[in-house]
């Protein structure tokens, strides 16, 4: 299903955010390719730069308080970081869509859900209101929002969290974007609903061939849904590869620690494994490897020299002084 054609290509992306508390170097030189039709996961702890990177793909940060360098190329051609506002408006929703973690926060509580879906449909097509209604109801049926005609006229407070996330997905895919960026879309849901929504993403990819960038802090979710994964730590991608390779042979100590910390069914009665310490402050300069203070394999040079990316195979990249 995955081809070598790229829908998005990020090269040496750096993002500095200017805040009241000083400048935060939130993303520190990441490279990432998303192939057509693949589900690519970005996994890491809170504050590692996952969401900042996702928002940069649609240039959603306030340009006045953000410094970008590097490239984000859509379809191997246009650099999103150089697009004009008019070009960005055309890109957002039509070619690249974004789903946030909390649908309650993302939907307008005063508007009926059907109207919020048709608004998106009409913004990116020439359909009249009747045609947009028919498309919205059909999408809602496909995504399990039953009975669609009745739900169409309900307000967000009348639906459960799982149904609201389906509404968000319906609005996001209504214009058939080539890339869907989903930022922790299942985190606010209970476990049963999480599984259903993950199945829905797989179904959408199967039916439409859409690429999905799936952002999560949960490696279990990555195993469930992704083809490839990039592991982020302190604003850098420290390991990247096929999900099977990363689970079978994780190379970076942080990836290993994340996988070991996934709760297992047979673990009853044992303590859960946690990574000691906490990630570094991204407002301070980081010398050497950012993971060194928490890494059980750290050597002297890890504290002074930044590790370089090296290839374990054509599809597996690691950023660590220990080459295995
Ligand atoms: Fe650990 Fe050193 Fe590798 Fe960093 S470079 S992950 S500190 S071994």
Residues in Cβ contact with 117 at an 8 Å cutoff, skipping those fewer than 6 apart: 136, 139, 140, 167, 170, 171, 174
| Strand-strand pairing, 6-19 and 66-74 | antiparallel
pLDDT beyond 90 at 30:
yes
What does the alpha-carbon distance between residue 168 and residue 151 come to, in Å, rounded to a whole number? 14
- Report H helices in the chain: 50-57, 85-91, 103-106, 113-123, 129-142, 148-152, 161-173, 191-208, 219-225, 243-248, 253-260
Flag whether pLDDT at 316 surpasses 50.
yes
- Please give the number of the atom of ligand 1 that sits closest to the Cα of 289: 4
Find all residues with CB under 8 Å of 31, minimum gap 6, and list them: 10, 11, 12, 13, 237, 309
- CA angle 202-149-135, nearest 5°? 55
- Is the CB of 280 within 6 Å of ligand 1? no
The predicted-structure confidence for 82-110, as pLDDT tens digits, reads as follows 999 999 998 998 899 999 888 888 899 99
| Ligand 1 proximity of 286 Cβ (cutoff 6 Å) | no
Q: What is the pLDDT of residue 93?
A: 85
Å from CA of 292 to ligand 1 middle? 5
What distance in angstroms lies between residue 232's CA and the mean position of ligand 1's atoms? 14
Q: Is the pTM of this model over 0.85?
A: yes
Confidence of residue 40 (pLDDT cuts 50, 70, 90): very high
Q: Report, as an integer, the average pLDDT of 71-88.
A: 92
C-alpha 242/C-alpha 250 separation (Å) is: 11
Q: Give the residue from 34, 79, 4 showing the smallest Cα distance to 237.
A: 34
pLDDT digits (tens, 9 = 90+) for 176-209: 899 999 999 888 778 888 888 899 999 999 999 9
CA of 324 to the centre of ligand 1 (A): 12
SS3 46: coil
Confirm or reject: Cβ of 236 under 6 Å from ligand 1: no
The ligand 1 atom at the shortest distance from the C-alpha of residue 302 is 2
pLDDT higher than 70, residue 2:
no
Rounded CA separation 30/10 (Å): 7
Cβ-based burial of 252 (10 A; exposed 0-12, middle 13-18, buried ≥19)? buried
- The pLDDT of 238-255, averaged and rounded, is 96
- Whether ligand 1 lies within 6 angstroms of the CB of 92 is answered as no
Question: How many angstroms separate the CA atoms of 52 and 24, rounded?
Answer: 11
- Centre of ligand 1 to C-alpha 261, Å, is 18
Name the strand (E) or helix (H) holding 32: strand 22-35
Give the per-residue pLDDT at 273.
74
- Whole-angstrom Cα distance, residue 226 to residue 231? 12
Question: Backbone phi, then psi, for 41, in 5-degree steps?
Answer: -95, 145
Environment class of 31 (CB within 10 Å of its CB; exposed 0-12, middle 13-18, buried 19+): middle
> Where does the pLDDT of residue 1 fall: very low under 50, low under 70, confident under 90, or very high at 90 and above?
very low
Whole-number Å distance, alpha carbon 3 to ligand 1 midpoint, is: 33
């Amino acid at each position: 299903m995955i081809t070598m054609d790229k829908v998005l290509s990020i090269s040496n992306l750096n993002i500095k955010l200017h805040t009241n508390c000083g400048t935060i170097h939130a993303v520190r030189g990441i490279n990432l390719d998303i192939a057509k039709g693949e589900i690519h996961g970005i996994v890491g702890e809170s504050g590692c730069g996952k969401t900042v990177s996702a928002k940069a793909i649609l240039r959603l940060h306030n340009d006045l308080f953000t410094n970008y360098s590097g490239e984000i190329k859509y379809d191997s051609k246009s650099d999103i970081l150089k697009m004009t506002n008019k070009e960005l408006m055309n890109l957002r929703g039509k070619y690249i869509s974004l789903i946030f973690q909390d649908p309650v926060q993302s939907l307008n509580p005063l508007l009926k859900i059907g109207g919020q879906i048709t608004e998106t449909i009409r913004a990116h097509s020439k359909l009249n209101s009747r045609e947009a209604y028919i498309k919205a109801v059909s999408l809602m049926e496909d995504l399990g929002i039953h009975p669609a005609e009745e739900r169409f006229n309900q307000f967000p407070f009348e639906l459960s969290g799982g149904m609201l996330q389906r509404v968000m997905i319906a609005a996001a895919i209504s214009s058939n974007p080539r890339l869907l960026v989903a930022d922790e879309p299942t985190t606010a849901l209970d476990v049963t609903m999480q599984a259903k929504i993950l199945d829905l993403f797989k179904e959408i990819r199967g039916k439409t061939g859409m690429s999905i960038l799936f952002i999560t802090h949960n490696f279990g979710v990555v195993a469930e849904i992704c083809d490839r994964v990039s592991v982020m730590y302190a604003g850098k991608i420290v390991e990247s590869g096929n999900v099977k390779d990363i689970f079978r042979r994780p190379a970076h100590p942080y990836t290993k620690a994340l996988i070991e910390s996934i709760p297992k069914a047979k673990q009853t009665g044992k303590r859960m494994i946690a990574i000691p310490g906490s990630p570094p402050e991204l407002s301070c300069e980081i010398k050497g490897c950012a993971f060194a203070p928490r890494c059980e394999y750290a050597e002297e040079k890890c504290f002074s020299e930044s590790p370089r990316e090296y290839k374990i195979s054509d599809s597996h990249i690691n950023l660590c002084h220990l080459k295995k």
